Structure 1
Amino acid sequence: MMPEGVFRVMLRMDIKPGMENEFERVWREIGDSVTSHPANLGQWLARGDEAGVYYIVSDWVDEPRFREFETSDRHLNHRKKLHPYRSGGSMTTMRVVTYLPGDANGKSHQEWEAAR
């Protein structure tokens, strides 16, 4: 269950044409530099409908702990490894107000498929 008040960061990353597969591979390889931070609740990588557009959603226990991470050497090294793939992007921050779990929440992929 998602606790209320979670600090959420959403990044839009515009990836250089032809570099999408390599970007995805590197993002997976270095993701633990974010998710292993004690204040990180998890992150997701999603491909947008526009060519080369990706969204990264990252949840944190609170804003001060995220800001601490954002200025850390750990984060700067992470950004350096992804920078060669980027042609642009933006960041939006927000606080989770309410979480309503869906019916499929907590089901395995097989259970979800069987229910379809």
Structure 2
Amino acid sequence: MGDVFRVQLRMQIKPGCEQDFERVWLEVGDSVTGHPANLGQWLARSLEEPGIYYITSDWVDEPRFRQFETSERHLAHRQLLHPYRSGGSMTTMRVVAALPADGGPR
């Protein structure tokens, strides 16, 4: 798990566009999760900040994520979500440890 490259996006969605954003995110998500280097992707909505979403995606390594990031596949994905956004940021990190919950997969 220590080699996993994680990308965390913080997205500000335009007021009133939240349901459409969630729907489109689900519809186009396979353009990310279908990439052989992607290990999964999650969408979370903030409970404290209206219109704020976090997208987390895990990748086998940074070079393969960067390859995806500059691909036509990613550009098309971003263009479909862009109309709903009013701002955002990206943070990258390397997972250094993971503790599964009791009863979870080990």
Q: Which residue of 1 aligns with 2:38?
A: 40
Distance, in Å, in 2 between the alignment partners of 1:53 and 1:72 is 26
CA distance in 1, matches of 2:2, 2:20: 35
Cα separation, 1, equivalents of 2:103 and 2:16: 35
Superposed, which structure 2 residues align to 1:19-34 within 5 Å? Answer: 19-34=17-32
RMSD (Å), alpha carbons: 0.7
What's the TM-score, normalizing by structure 1?
0.88
Larger radius of gyration: 1
TM-score (ref. length: structure 2)? 0.96
Partners of 1:29 and 1:4 lie apart in 2 by: 30
User: Where do 4+ consecutive residues of structure 1 move more than 2 Å?
Assistant: none
Q: Distance in 2 between matches of 1:10 and 1:19?
A: 21
CA distance in 1, matches of 2:35, 2:12: 25
1:104 Cα deviation after fit: 4.4
Q: Distance in 2 between matches of 1:73 and 1:87?
A: 22
Instruction: Give the secondary structure class of the aligned counterpart of 2:40.
Output: strand
1:74 pairs with 2:70: no
Percent identity of equivalent pairs: 74
Unaligned segments of structure 2, at least 5 residues: none
Q: How many residues are treated as equivalent by the alignment?
A: 104
